Structure 1
Amino acid sequence: MEKKLKFGIYIHIPFCSSRCIYCGFYSTTLAKTMETGYVEALLHEIKLRKKEPLCFCGEGETPVVDTIYIGGGTPSCLKSENVGRILSCVKETYECQLREVTMEMNPDDITDEYVKDVKGYGVNRISMGIQSFDDSRLRFLRRRHTAEIARNAVSTVRRAGISNVSIDLMFGFPGQTVSEWQEDVRKGVELAPSHISAYSLMYEEGTPLFSLLEKGKVSQIADETSIEMYESLIDQLSSAGYEHYEISNFAKPEHRSLHNSSYWHDVPYLGFGASAHSYTIGKRSSNVADIRQYVESLRTGVLPSSMEIIDDDTHYDDLVTTALRTKEGLYVDSLKPKYREYIMKAAKRNIDAGLMAMDNGHLHLTRKGLFVSDMVMCDLIYT
């Protein structure tokens, strides 16, 4: 009997109407002048890569697209008909049994007509970057929406027939107090989204925010305050019925992000678009992070990407830094004997310290370990 091997597809839309102060992702504000050429190149890549061997498939296995995630940048900068063209191309090129099609949207881009259009093309989950319900902080981030626009956007998405809504929130603003963060979380819960992602504000080199930090115009909050905010987040969302299933992600029952979960559970995925990454068993590839080079290369039928072969040691390290982010953790018996022995020996110190635990064959972080997850993972890395 033929076995269907599920994999995900990520589609990168590197356009934004404006750049947020903290953003380190590859994007441009030239969407209106470059959209047509970029979409044509994207469609060409999707078809072109159908010809490449999908090395994660064994004998008798057929690859089937299970999830699609349209991210960015700001995918909602695209005309809705171009979203439809992209999704149609995927469905025409690959066998699909889609459970989840997520599209990232900015609150200020959302209209009844736009959401109805993309829903008609197959989008069934919206991920919305709200970040904060404090208008002064939204201005600081250079976001284009207000708290009221964000609340109205959630209502618009539901009115258009998409009930699976995820929102992003951010904590750790300069000068932010724990009580102010708790109020943001409370307002997020009031909207009753099916999924909430929450991240600490990061000062990434090369961003305007990092420049402000270097010039002494802003200051990072104390580590103790950041930990208290994260503790409070877990408590508030757990009390509201959200499952803390990954370090930064919380979901109502049956509403985990299926696509993102594939990243953490060693499921293959193909990434299309400038700067997009792909992962199949034994190799990892990345497209050039330059829209013009990406478009020009695909006009000649050449995919502008580089490839890395993943050896056993690298694959083990990848599992440690992904699976241990999840509630379930890493199933130790799935590892080769060499790595099983290594990880249990390396984990002992963290287990004794109460940072990790072993349950039903799964090695996972404890709540105490969540706050020092990077340190714990470094202890377990092989190479």
Structure 2
Amino acid sequence: MAGIYLHIPFCKQACFYCDFHFSTSVKRKSEMVDAICKEIALRKREIDDVIETIYFGGGTPSLLSEQELEQILNTIWANFEVNESPEITLEANPDDLTEERIIQLSNSPINRLSIGIQSFFEEELKSMNRVHTATESLNCLSVATGYFENITVDLIYGIPNMSSEKWKQNLQKVFDLGISHISSYALTVESKTALESFIKKGIYPPLDEQLASEHFNILVEETANNGFVHYETSNFGKDGFFSKHNTSYWKGVSYLGIGPSAHSFIGNTRSWNVANNAKYINAIEQGELPSENEVLSEKDQFNEYIMTGLRTIWGVDLQKIKMDFGNAYFDYLKTTSEKFITQGLLEISNCHSEPVEESLNSNVLRTTQKGKFLVDGIASDLFMI
């Protein structure tokens, strides 16, 4: 199996915290769609596997018209072998999801919506410079659940001055609407963003890691109480509603990244397109791929597996470490993980009781509940230098 990610680099306005590649000008949108389709055709021989998942990310893919989405999907079908029922996800902002638009999307091949809610409170939305309102969030979800079974929402926690009670209310609204998947991330300060500048100037309060930790613990507890499986650090899904596309990233499945700034991973090679709309379009029009690539060393592959494995309920398969990387890596991991096991942050477990989509290996290194919030730091300490 394999996947295709499509980066749609347009937004109505810039969120203060965002460091993704996008433009607020849509003057060249039709040219961009043509270039994306041409890149798909140029790269059709890079993946021989059947395409199981297609993901429209960005940016704001819901800015694409019905005809533009159809043009891209038709190009994929013309150039790749696609599964009979692939998971096709469209990221969307609530302000784009009118009832008419939702009905239109429900009649297309798209069968999964990823809706950027972030918060149901007006003050938090304004503080992040989100373009939609709290009312639009509730309205679009109320309509969308009538047409789409597979919906995920994005929520942000750790927002300064957002009380734990308000955070619980955000989660409860999702539960009440019957949503089956949540992706939730701590507000972070990325380099060269407006948020970084505002904090430095004292315009925006500094982030509080303790608050983020409290919100994360509430998130884990409340989702579990409402039937969600915490299957990846930032992702919570009811049984049967895990993101197939994102799960393929964490499990090292090959995927093709199309569009400016998009990354691809095939075999042991990672590549990425130029993060510039004009340069991307101009290169593609000349039949050139505006990308760079690197071949991952054995050490890189080991470190990447540690990072992705520890973030998921599938963990790090110790037998796989021994078979794929050898005894030296196996012994190194066993030694370096001991202090985290002693601290109750990691564990070697023999079974897993949660309902999941496949059986889990019996000799697996995983984060404990206590270690989940600290997983990225733990993983980096286990990297082979």
**TM over 0.5, yes or no?**
yes
332, 341, 344: which one aligns with 2:334: 344
362, 368, 379: which one aligns with 1:377: 379
What is the match of residue 276 of structure 1?
A: 262
Any residues of structure 2 matched to 1:15-164 within 5 Å, and which?
A: 15-31=10-26, 33-52=27-46, 54=47, 62-97=48-83, 98-159=85-146, 161-164=147-150
Per mean C-alpha deviation after superposition, the further-off stretch among 282-291 and 94-103 is: 94-103
Spell out, residue by residue over 1:316-371, the C-alpha distance to the aligned partner (whole angstroms, 9 max, x if none).
11111111100121111112223222211211111111110112111110011112
Q: Which amino acid aligns with 1:21?
A: F
Aligned length: 368
CA distance in 2, matches of 1:104, 1:65: 19
Shift of residue 103 of structure 1?
0.4
Shift of residue 15 of structure 1?
0.4
Question: Is the contact between residue 71 and residue 104 of structure 1 (CA under 8 Å) also seen in structure 2?
Answer: yes
Question: Is the contact between residue 175 and residue 221 of structure 1 (CA under 8 Å) also seen in structure 2?
Answer: no
- Specify the SS of the correspondent of 2:28: helix
Question: Is the contact between residue 233 and residue 373 of structure 2 (CA under 8 Å) also seen in structure 1?
Answer: no
Q: For the aligned residues, what is the CA RMSD?
A: 1.3
333, 346, 350: which one aligns with 1:356: 346
316, 319, 330: which one aligns with 2:305: 319
CA distance in 1, matches of 2:58, 2:96: 14
Shift of residue 141 of structure 1?
1.3
CA distance in 1, matches of 2:347, 2:145: 40
Per mean C-alpha deviation after superposition, the further-off stretch among 104-113 and 33-42 is: 104-113
CA distance in 2, matches of 1:135, 1:147: 6
Q: Percent of aligned positions with the same letter in both sequences?
A: 36
TM-score (norm 1): 0.93
Question: Is the contact between residue 83 and residue 118 of structure 1 (CA under 8 Å) also seen in structure 2?
Answer: no
CA distance in 2, matches of 1:251, 1:72: 22
Is 1:262 the counterpart of 2:273 in the alignment?
no
196, 207, 215: which one aligns with 1:210: 196
Spell out, residue by residue over 1:12-42, the C-alpha distance to the aligned partner (whole angstroms, 9 max, x if none).
00100111111110000112x1111000100
Q: Which amino acid aligns with 1:50?
A: K
Question: Is the contact between residue 228 and residue 237 of structure 2 (CA under 8 Å) also seen in structure 1?
Answer: yes
CA distance in 1, matches of 2:79, 2:108: 16
CA distance in 1, matches of 2:329, 2:86: 33
182, 197, 215: which one aligns with 2:183: 197
What is the match of residue 357 of structure 2?
A: none
Per mean C-alpha deviation after superposition, the further-off stretch among 290-299 and 328-337 is: 328-337
Shift of residue 138 of structure 1?
0.8
Spell out, residue by residue over 1:202-250, the C-alpha distance to the aligned partner (whole angstroms, 9 max, x if none).
1111111111001012223432222111111111111011111111111
- Specify the SS of the correspondent of 2:101: helix
What is the match of residue 174 of structure 1?
A: 160
Question: Is the contact between residue 173 and residue 220 of structure 1 (CA under 8 Å) also seen in structure 2?
Answer: no
Q: 1:158 to 1:187 in 2, by over 3 A?
A: closer
Per mean C-alpha deviation after superposition, the further-off stretch among 142-151 and 100-109 is: 142-151
Question: Is the contact between residue 145 and residue 179 of structure 2 (CA under 8 Å) also seen in structure 1?
Answer: no
CA distance in 2, matches of 1:86, 1:345: 49
CA distance in 2, matches of 1:42, 1:351: 47
Spell out, residue by residue over 1:31-85, the C-alpha distance to the aligned partner (whole angstroms, 9 max, x if none).
2x11110001000000000134x4xxxxxxx511010110000000111110111
CA distance in 2, matches of 1:71, 1:39: 13
TM-score (norm 2): 0.93
320, 344, 355: which one aligns with 1:334: 320
Spell out, residue by residue over 1:95-130, the C-alpha distance to the aligned partner (whole angstroms, 9 max, x if none).
011431100000000123323333333100000000
Shift of residue 252 of structure 1?
1.1
287, 290, 301: which one aligns with 2:287: 301
Question: Is the contact between residue 84 and residue 118 of structure 1 (CA under 8 Å) also seen in structure 2?
Answer: no
Structure 2 unmatched runs, 5+? 350-361
CA distance in 2, matches of 1:226, 1:215: 22
Shift of residue 145 of structure 1?
1.5
